[in-house]
Amino acid sequence: MGAKAPEEKSIPLAIGLNMVLPGAGYMYMGRVVLGIFALILIGMILASTPVFIFFSAWIGLNVFMAVDMLILGKKREKEIASVTTKMCPRCAETIKRDAKVCRFCGADVSRVF
Protein backbone atom coordinates (compact mmCIF):
# COMPACT_ATOMS: atom_id res chain seq x y z
CA MET A 1 0.00 0.00 0.00
CA GLY A 2 1.26 3.44 -0.93
CA ALA A 3 1.34 6.59 1.09
CA LYS A 4 -1.82 8.63 1.29
CA ALA A 5 -1.84 11.71 -0.93
CA PRO A 6 -2.40 15.03 0.81
CA GLU A 7 -5.71 16.71 0.08
CA GLU A 8 -5.67 19.22 -2.75
CA LYS A 9 -6.40 22.68 -1.40
CA SER A 10 -7.12 25.92 -3.25
CA ILE A 11 -4.26 28.39 -2.85
CA PRO A 12 -6.34 31.41 -4.00
CA LEU A 13 -8.97 30.50 -1.40
CA ALA A 14 -6.31 30.24 1.32
CA ILE A 15 -4.91 33.65 0.35
CA GLY A 16 -8.42 35.12 0.36
CA LEU A 17 -9.13 33.67 3.79
CA ASN A 18 -5.92 35.20 5.10
CA MET A 19 -6.96 38.59 3.73
CA VAL A 20 -10.31 38.43 5.52
CA LEU A 21 -8.96 36.98 8.75
CA PRO A 22 -5.18 36.54 9.07
CA GLY A 23 -4.37 32.96 9.90
CA ALA A 24 -7.59 31.47 8.52
CA GLY A 25 -5.86 30.48 5.31
CA TYR A 26 -3.16 28.64 7.24
CA MET A 27 -5.83 26.81 9.23
CA TYR A 28 -7.56 25.85 5.97
CA MET A 29 -4.23 24.47 4.66
CA GLY A 30 -3.81 22.37 7.82
CA ARG A 31 -1.27 24.56 9.60
CA VAL A 32 -3.40 25.41 12.63
CA VAL A 33 -0.62 26.51 14.99
CA LEU A 34 0.79 28.93 12.42
CA GLY A 35 -2.72 30.24 11.75
CA ILE A 36 -3.34 30.92 15.42
CA PHE A 37 0.05 32.65 15.66
CA ALA A 38 -0.81 34.92 12.69
CA LEU A 39 -4.19 35.77 14.25
CA ILE A 40 -2.59 36.62 17.59
CA LEU A 41 0.12 38.67 15.86
CA ILE A 42 -2.37 40.82 13.94
CA GLY A 43 -4.42 41.24 17.13
CA MET A 44 -1.35 42.47 19.00
CA ILE A 45 -0.52 44.89 16.19
CA LEU A 46 -4.10 46.20 16.21
CA ALA A 47 -4.05 46.68 19.98
CA SER A 48 -0.73 48.52 20.06
CA THR A 49 -0.75 50.79 16.99
CA PRO A 50 -2.85 53.59 15.54
CA VAL A 51 -5.36 52.63 12.85
CA PHE A 52 -3.42 54.14 9.94
CA ILE A 53 -0.31 52.12 10.84
CA PHE A 54 -2.42 49.01 11.40
CA PHE A 55 -3.58 48.98 7.78
CA SER A 56 0.04 49.15 6.56
CA ALA A 57 0.91 46.23 8.83
CA TRP A 58 -2.20 44.35 7.64
CA ILE A 59 -1.19 44.76 3.99
CA GLY A 60 2.44 43.81 4.69
CA LEU A 61 1.44 40.73 6.65
CA ASN A 62 -1.00 39.68 3.91
CA VAL A 63 1.68 40.02 1.22
CA PHE A 64 4.07 37.94 3.33
CA MET A 65 1.41 35.28 3.95
CA ALA A 66 0.41 35.19 0.26
CA VAL A 67 4.01 34.45 -0.77
CA ASP A 68 4.22 31.77 1.92
CA MET A 69 0.92 30.25 0.69
CA LEU A 70 2.30 30.04 -2.85
CA ILE A 71 5.42 28.27 -1.58
CA LEU A 72 3.29 25.95 0.57
CA GLY A 73 1.08 25.19 -2.44
CA LYS A 74 4.07 24.22 -4.61
CA LYS A 75 5.35 21.93 -1.86
CA ARG A 76 1.92 20.31 -1.56
CA GLU A 77 1.76 19.79 -5.35
CA LYS A 78 5.12 17.97 -5.24
CA GLU A 79 3.90 15.74 -2.39
CA ILE A 80 0.74 14.88 -4.33
CA ALA A 81 2.72 14.16 -7.49
CA SER A 82 5.16 11.88 -5.66
CA VAL A 83 2.28 9.77 -4.33
CA THR A 84 0.15 9.69 -7.50
CA THR A 85 2.83 9.23 -10.20
CA LYS A 86 5.77 7.00 -11.02
CA MET A 87 8.65 6.99 -13.49
CA CYS A 88 8.63 4.74 -16.55
CA PRO A 89 11.72 2.48 -16.31
CA ARG A 90 12.17 2.50 -20.08
CA CYS A 91 11.76 6.15 -21.14
CA ALA A 92 11.93 7.93 -17.74
CA GLU A 93 8.69 9.87 -18.33
CA THR A 94 6.34 10.56 -15.42
CA ILE A 95 3.12 8.54 -15.62
CA LYS A 96 0.20 7.85 -13.30
CA ARG A 97 0.87 5.30 -10.58
CA ASP A 98 -2.09 3.14 -11.66
CA ALA A 99 -0.94 2.96 -15.31
CA LYS A 100 -0.36 -0.49 -16.78
CA VAL A 101 1.29 0.75 -20.00
CA CYS A 102 3.44 3.86 -20.47
CA ARG A 103 1.60 6.33 -22.67
CA PHE A 104 4.86 7.64 -24.09
CA CYS A 105 6.77 4.50 -25.10
CA GLY A 106 4.21 1.70 -24.68
CA ALA A 107 6.29 -0.21 -22.11
CA ASP A 108 4.57 -2.57 -19.67
CA VAL A 109 4.80 -0.81 -16.31
CA SER A 110 2.29 -2.91 -14.38
CA ARG A 111 5.04 -4.53 -12.30
CA VAL A 112 6.92 -1.31 -11.49
CA PHE A 113 6.34 -0.09 -7.91
Instruction: Spell out the SS3 assignment of the chain.
Output: CCCCCCCCCCHHHHHHHHHHCCCHHHHHCCCHHHHHHHHHHHHHHHHHCCHHHHHHHHHHHHHHHHHHHHHHHHHHHHHHHHHHEEECCCCCCEEECCCCECCCCCCECCCCC
Torsion 39-42-43-44 (CA) sign: positive
- The domain locations on the chain are 11-84
pTM comes to 0.65
Instruction: Tell me the per-residue pLDDT of 34-82, one tens digit each, with 9 for 90 and over.
Output: 999 988 988 888 888 888 788 888 888 889 888 988 898 888 888 888 8
